[in-house]
Structure 1
Amino acid sequence: MDFSGAYSIPNLTFILKGFLITLEVAVISIILSFILGTMLGTLRYTRMPVVTQLTAFVVDTLRNLPLLLIIFFMRIVLPQVGISMSPFWSTVVALTLFEGAMISEIVRSGLNSIDKGQIEAARSSGLNYIQTFWHIVLPQGLRRMSPPLVSQFISLLKDTSLAIIISLPEIMHNVQILGGQSFNYVIPALILAAVLYFIVNYTLSIIARRLESKIN
């Protein structure tokens, strides 16, 4: 193992650039998947016959497909029908769809956890369905779903490493290239990647625990 060589300024810069791309993909995907998941989860919560069934079909389909397959589909299949995206956006779209389906179930469960008595009381006080949902159900539901949402975001960050298969220059891709330069760089580079992942994910896990303690 050659720690001094692996951690030279050019190599550290190369790895950190990869980690920056990992974070960029994760942040954009978190925002988009949260929006998508909230929309899908809310649609399923409303229990409108056709809409609910169609939404359930989409969510169940996405949840039961391997994320790797979705990434391949975005990068390899879509260009065959004239829709071409860079590795960066192929990864973002794939993560958004897959994680959005996962988040939709968290949102639906959070909304369903609200006591029906509160909803009935709000309706009897003169609030319509939308007002009840916006002022009573959604605020409480968001608080209760915060811990599992953060846990899902942690999984999303780790899932970005799957983009190595389509040559996205994220951290694991750059670690692989560095390891190809010298076998002695492999373990030091992997250790650094593990430390960077741990720092971000452990910070998110602390946030999740604090949110959970506040709710309880």
Structure 2
Amino acid sequence: MDFIGAYTADHLIFLLKGFLITLEVAIISIILSFLIGGAIGILRYAKIPVLSQVLMLVVETIRNLPLLLIIFFTYFALPEIGIKLEIKTAAIAALTIFEAAMLSEIVRSGLLSIEKGQIEAARSSGLTYMQTLQYIVLPQALRRMVPPIVSQFISLLKDTSLAVIIALPELMHNAQIINGQSINYTIPTFLLIALLYFLVNFTLSLLAKQLETAQTDKKAKSKTSVYTPQNLQA
């Protein structure tokens, strides 16, 4: 093991550049997958005829495919039908598609977790379906969805390493280039990238646990509460 040779300034800068690309791809994919997955989850919850069934088929298909296959498809197969994506764009597209399917189920499950009694009470009090969804269902469901959504984001960050297969210059890709210079760099390099992944993911894990604890405490305090049009502003 050669820690001194592996941790030269040039190598560290090279790894950090890869890590920045990892974070960039992860952040963009997180935002896009949250927006798309949230919309799909809400549409499936609404049970719109035909559309809900089509979305269910799409989501279940994607969820049961390996992410690596989706990455291969976006980068190698799409050009065959005239859609050529840059490496970074292909990675973001693949991660977004896969994570959106996962997040849509989290959103739909969160919406379904709201007690029907509250929904019926809101509707009988004169609220429309959309008002009930906006003021009664979504605010409570979002709080319940935060911990699993954060956990899914942690998985997404780790999944960015799979983009090494299409030569995305992210952290793992750059680490492999450094390792190719000397076998003595392998352990020091992988220890460093493991530390970088750990620091980010552990921070997100702590955040998820704190949010889950806060949600549990809030749920216990409001266990007997009933949401009505009169307390929407509370």
TM-score of the two chains, using structure 1 as the length reference: 0.99
- Report the number of matched residues: 216
Distance 1:181 1:127 in 2: 67
> Structure 1: any 5+ residue segments left out of the alignment?
none
Distance 1:153 1:100 in 2: 11
**SS of the residue aligned with 1:109?**
helix
Distance 1:186 1:175 in 2: 8
Cα offset for 1:47? Answer: 1.1
Cα offset for 1:51? Answer: 1.0
Q: What letter matches 1:42 in structure 2?
A: I
Moved over 3 A (4+): none
1:195-215 Cα shifts (integer Å, max 9, x gaps): 000000000000000010011
Distance 2:190 2:107 in 1: 35
State the partner residue of 1:202: 202
Cα offset for 1:49? Answer: 2.1
Distance 2:14 2:185 in 1: 13
State the partner residue of 1:150: 150
State the partner residue of 1:21: 21
* 1:95-134 pair list within 5 angstroms: 95-134=95-134
**SS of the residue aligned with 2:180?**
helix
**2:154 maps to 1:169:** no
Q: What letter matches 1:71 in structure 2?
A: I
TM-score of the two chains, using structure 2 as the length reference: 0.91
Distance 1:22 1:207 in 2: 20
> Structure 2: any 5+ residue segments left out of the alignment?
217-234
State the partner residue of 1:179: 179
Cα offset for 1:127? Answer: 1.1
State the partner residue of 2:91: 91
**SS of the residue aligned with 2:50?**
helix
**SS of the residue aligned with 1:204?**
helix
1:148-202 Cα shifts (integer Å, max 9, x gaps): 0000000000000000000000000000000001111111110000000000000
Distance 1:37 1:82 in 2: 26
Distance 2:32 2:202 in 1: 22
